[in-house]
Amino acid sequence: MNPLNKSVTIELRTTIDDNGQMEYNTIKQQGNFYKRNELDVLTYEEKVDGQGAIKNLITIQPDRVSIKRSGNVTMNQKFRSNHTTENVFQHPHGNIHMETFTNSIRYKIADHNVEGELNIFYTVKLNGQEERKHELVLTYKEDPQ
């Protein structure tokens, strides 16, 4: 397989701290990894019961990350260390304004059977409400041939 286009197993774990009330989510999917110059891209489809598939496109650059979702829900969340970004999360029940402040981004690309890992620590305000702390940990590993 071309080293710039690999089939991978992706695991996305999120932790949300809402004033001490913790919420944990884990998604594990098959996807693809693409590399072009200093841009790494992960794509996968998420099957949501009763809502069809949601396509996910994650682009990773040295100083920023973007998570774009399309399908029954749409979102284009951007992360830049020590910056605030805004976007609108659209779903069938309405729209939610998101204000995201990124505390830190750490990224280690997969290399020779060692899984890649992306860590993002950030806070989010939904529709102007009190901010909640988030941690996103995305790991991916090339599928055996």
The pLDDT, as a whole number, for residue 111 is 77
Q: Which residue has the tokens 């620590």?
A: 121
pLDDT, tens digit (0-9, with 9 covering 90-100), for 10-53: 999 999 999 999 999 999 999 999 998 889 999 999 887 777 88
* Domain count within the chain: 1
CATH code of 20's domain: 2.40.128.20
Would residue 99 count as lying in a domain? no
87 in any annotated domain? no
- Closest by CA to 141, choosing from 2, 7, 4, is 7
CA distance 30 to 35: 17
Residue 115 and residue 9: Cα distance in Å, rounded?
9
Task: Extract the tokens encoding 141.
Answer: 């590993």
For residue 28, is it within any domain? yes
Q: How far apart are CA 34 and CA 43, in angstroms?
A: 8
Total residue count of the chain as it appears in this document: 145
pLDDT in tens, 53-109: 899 999 999 889 999 999 988 999 999 999 999 999 998 889 999 999 999 999 998
| Domain span at 76 | 5-82+104-122+133-142
Which backbone phi and psi does 35 adopt, to 5 degrees?
Answer: -130, 135
DSSP state of 4: T
Could you tell me if residue 71 is inside a domain? yes
Q: Which pTM was predicted? A: 0.90
Helices and strands (DSSP H and E) totals, the chain: 0, 10
